[in-house]
Amino acid sequence: MKASLAWFFAFCIVFIVWTLLDVIRPKQGIEALSSKSVTIILIDGLSQDLFNEELLKGSLPHLQKLMQRSLYVENGISSFPTMTGYAFYPFLTGLDACQSGIYGLRWFDKEREKGQLRNYVGRTNVQMNYDVKASPQNLFELAGTSYTCSINSYMNRGVKESVKTGFAHTTAKYEGKIWLSNLASLPWIGKKVIKNHFLHETAVANLALTQLESNPKVQWITFASPDAYNHVNGTDSIYHHLLRHIDFEIGRILAKCRALGHEQRAIAVVSDHGIQDVHTNLDVCKTLKQNTGLSIERGKSAVLYSTDLTTPASKLSTLDAYFVINGNLSAYIYVLDAAKKKLGKQSLERLKLKNGTTINLPQELIKTEGIELCLLMDEVNGDMYILSKKGSSAITKSGNKYAYRIVKGIDPLGYENHSEAKGRINNGFFTSEEWLKATLYSEYPDAIYRFYELVSQKKSGDLVITAAEGYDLASNYEAVVSNYKGGHGSGGRKVISVPYIYYQPQQQERVEKYMRAEDLGKLIRNYLFGEK
């Protein structure tokens, strides 16, 4: 065969194989401009009060302008516990986060033989997507072969392009630490890799602008700095400046959508939780050990050595209980026993320890300084109990309705001080919607529904405790900043109530007083995929 003929055949074979592969290969289609798409911008740790303050001052001009052509939800209701990642779930699926198969950023699976502590902080963040239930499909999965992308999210199963700026986020979070200042002063590398929160958010927005050029069907952008800043420093003027800076960056993203002609792109600006300042950091495990002899271990804050969770259950066999921190304002306590079942009020009030003594664990917890609420199930009648230093109450569920009664003393949730909620106490069954409406302006908006639905889950912890105002449950917890000055995770108004802005093409602007995160998720799914 002539050399030229051989080349011709070789070319034909390559061409045929290439064409066949192209048929088989899933199309990572760049969407037509006319097809519906969404960009979800999540501001991590957005304080509703400070957002309103900045809005009134006219310091958030881009968000204000967006609100004028959008649905504005004054009181969006976050997931409980109010946790990063976990609380992204309802926006993607239209379901309450406690239906996801995970119960926060950290929880404990009694039934596993190894890796019982499910900790998604650190390199193990990849485990979150594995642990979340397969059904329903999230927005990324529903987008099929279309291009989708996310920046700084680990709740993103099925996404085509996942960008994480973890190192820049870390250097921003620990700005001012001496070792970091030294690193930052190095020529070239210093400026390149060490970022403060402002530079980091600009870098995030730049990445988002590049992604937009490929017209993502679903785009998720997390602006993480308000949360990170508040944890380390509490709330001060820099927190306010960060909100203004994020408003500016959102302005650039919106301008880019207009320039690219993304006329069918919906825009959601949401948050996963608010923030609460902290002045005192508690070590509840130490207190419990001293006061009762309970053998309890606190799960570590982050896993840096591996992407897997492998500690065998046998390593915990000498313990009575395990303490799992969420955010830093809430925690789960799991009792470790052979039955591996969830324990309720009756068992916990007469808990036999490995040292032979018997304790009333809920009572021990609630008398501890800095603990506000203790939530647990009654294993006999299926009610959920709320204990506080002032008194106790109980929630009964029947069908899809909830009744709330005071058991002893003063209402732990303070509903007695709110006329609309007060009328529903000791007064029969009401739907979750009725309870949300009645408790919206109380210190515990939507707690009847959010608390009951989480605590009644089989694997959500035998006890859930939340910190009182100004306290957290995470003394000397984190490696770099041992004690936080702010946080989230609990269920009070400051952390559970956040604003949402949702722009949908061809929709009139309107204001809603309240909406749960999952109901906003339903609106997005309905717009993109026609789901009812």
For residue 292, what are its two tokens?
A: 């009762």
Helix (H, G, I), strand (E, B) or coil at 366: helix
Helix (H, G, I), strand (E, B) or coil at 42: strand
Give the interface segment with Zn ion, choosing from 79-87, 232-240, 308-316, 497-505 (CB under 5 A): 79-87
Q: Least distance from C-beta 223 to Zn ion, angstroms? A: 10
* 229/402 with CB nearer Zn ion: 229
Give the interface segment with Zn ion, choosing from 10-18, 84-92, 478-486, 504-512 (CB under 5 A): 84-92
Residues written for the chain: 532
Q: At what angle do helices 166-173 and 197-212 cross, to 10 degrees?
A: 160
**Stretch 134-153 residues interacting with Zn ion (CB under 5 A):** none
Residues 421 and 439 sit within 8 Å (Cβ to Cβ): yes
Give the interface segment with Zn ion, choosing from 81-89, 96-104, 186-194, 408-416 (CB under 5 A): 81-89
Indicate the pairing of strand 106-108 with strand 117-119: antiparallel
Size of residue set near Zn ion by CB under 5 A? 4
Write the CB contacts of 15 (distance below 8 Å, at least 6 apart in sequence): none
CB neighbours (10 Å) of residue 324?
A: 24
Give the interface segment with Zn ion, choosing from 5-13, 191-199, 271-279, 490-498 (CB under 5 A): 271-279
Q: Judged by CB under 5 A, does residue 272 bind Zn ion?
A: yes
Q: Least distance from C-beta 44 to Zn ion, angstroms? A: 4
Query: Which three-class secondary structure string do you get for 400-463?
Result: CEEEEEEEEECCCCCHHHCHHHHCCECCCCEEHHHHHHHHCCCCCCCHHHHHHHHHCCCCCCCE
CB neighbours (10 Å) of residue 242?
A: 23
| Angstrom distance (rounded) from CA 147 to CA 28 | 6
Q: Least distance from C-beta 272 to Zn ion, angstroms? A: 4
Q: Least distance from C-beta 83 to Zn ion, angstroms? A: 7
315-322: Cβ within 8 A, 24+ apart: 316/116, 318/354, 319/295, 319/354, 320/294, 320/295, 320/296, 320/351, 320/353, 320/354, 321/294, 321/295, 321/296, 321/361, 322/108, 322/116, 322/117, 322/296, 322/297
Which residue among 38, 39, 44, 388 contacts Zn ion (CB under 5 A)? 44
Q: Judged by CB under 5 A, does residue 84 bind Zn ion?
A: yes
Q: Least distance from C-beta 105 to Zn ion, angstroms? A: 9
**Is residue 465 classed exposed, middle or buried when 0-12, 13-18 and 19+ CB atoms within 10 A define those classes?**
buried
Residues 275 and 235 sit within 8 Å (Cβ to Cβ): yes
Q: Least distance from C-beta 323 to Zn ion, angstroms? A: 21
Q: Which residue has the tokens 């065969």?
A: 1
Q: Least distance from C-beta 419 to Zn ion, angstroms? A: 33
Q: Which of 378, 379, 403, 373 is nearest to 391 (CA)?
A: 373
Give the interface segment with Zn ion, choosing from 20-28, 39-47, 150-158, 385-393 (CB under 5 A): 39-47
* 406/501 with CB nearer Zn ion: 501
* 78/432 with CB nearer Zn ion: 78
* 224/421 with CB nearer Zn ion: 224
519 backbone dihedrals φ, ψ, rounded to 5°: -75, -30
Binding mask 397-436 for Zn ion (x = CB under 5 A): ----------------------------------------
* 272/472 with CB nearer Zn ion: 272
Q: Which residue's C-beta sits nearest to Zn ion?
A: 84
Q: Least distance from C-beta 46 to Zn ion, angstroms? A: 9
* 150/432 with CB nearer Zn ion: 150
Query: What 8-state DSSP symbol labels residue 466?
Result: E
Residues 265 and 39 sit within 8 Å (Cβ to Cβ): yes
Which residue among 31, 109, 175, 227 contacts Zn ion (CB under 5 A)? 227
* 82/442 with CB nearer Zn ion: 82
Residues 60 and 46 sit within 8 Å (Cβ to Cβ): no
Q: Least distance from C-beta 400 to Zn ion, angstroms? A: 29
Q: Judged by CB under 5 A, does residue 372 bind Zn ion?
A: no
* 249/272 with CB nearer Zn ion: 272
For residue 97, what are its two tokens?
A: 């986060």
Q: Least distance from C-beta 78 to Zn ion, angstroms? A: 9
* 84/276 with CB nearer Zn ion: 84
Q: Judged by CB under 5 A, does residue 78 bind Zn ion?
A: no
* 285/517 with CB nearer Zn ion: 517
Q: Least distance from C-beta 510 to Zn ion, angstroms? A: 27
Residues that bind Zn ion (CB under 5 A): 44, 84, 227, 272
